[in-house]
């Protein structure tokens, strides 16, 4: 997860600096921190379910998605109210990083669900 964010920011740094300048880069870093924190908060229930109650991994993956969405929205709103930032790069990077982490977290959740929920084999079929 952190490697994907680092690679995305490394690629986007020059583009952001050229288009929006230092304020845009600051907004990019803020979006990266907000999306990372919300992604980690959303992964906690999935991790706990995988360790403590593997049969509930699917439900916890869904709950993790809701936690990630609410945390990202709350943190982004709070940051926008407290800091004067360049809104276009901030919102652009929020969308890019949120979707990137959503794909990674969803893939991780699907893999865990598949690991703990093998399909039932029908009698007489192989």
Q: What is the pLDDT along the chain (126 residues), one digit of tens a residue?
A: 889 999 999 999 999 999 999 999 999 999 999 999 999 999 999 889 888 888 888 888 889 999 999 999 999 999 989 987 788 999 999 999 999 999 999 898 888 888 877 665 444 555
At residue 118, the pLDDT reads 67
Q: Cα-atom radius of gyration of the chain, to the nearest Å?
A: 18
DSSP state of 76: H
What's the predicted TM-score (pTM) here?
Answer: 0.85
At residue 123, the pLDDT reads 47
CB 38 within 8 A of CB 76: no
At residue 84, the pLDDT reads 79
Burial (CB count <10 Å: 0-12, 13-18, 19+), residue 32? buried
């Amino acid at each position: 997860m952190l490697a994907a964010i680092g690679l995305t920011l490394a690629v986007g740094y020059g583009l952001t600096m050229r288009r929006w300048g230092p304020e845009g880069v600051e907004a990019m870093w803020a979006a990266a921190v907000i999306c990372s924190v919300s992604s980690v908060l959303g992964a906690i229930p999935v991790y706990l379910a995988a360790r403590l109650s593997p049969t509930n991994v699917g439900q916890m993956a869904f709950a993790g998605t809701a936690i990630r969405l609410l945390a990202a929205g709350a943190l982004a709103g709070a940051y926008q109210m407290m800091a004067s930032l360049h809104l276009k790069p901030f919102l652009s990077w929020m969308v890019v990083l949120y979707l990137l982490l959503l794909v990674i977290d969803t893939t991780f959740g699907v893999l865990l669900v598949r690991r703990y929920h093998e399909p039932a084999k029908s009698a007489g079929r192989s």
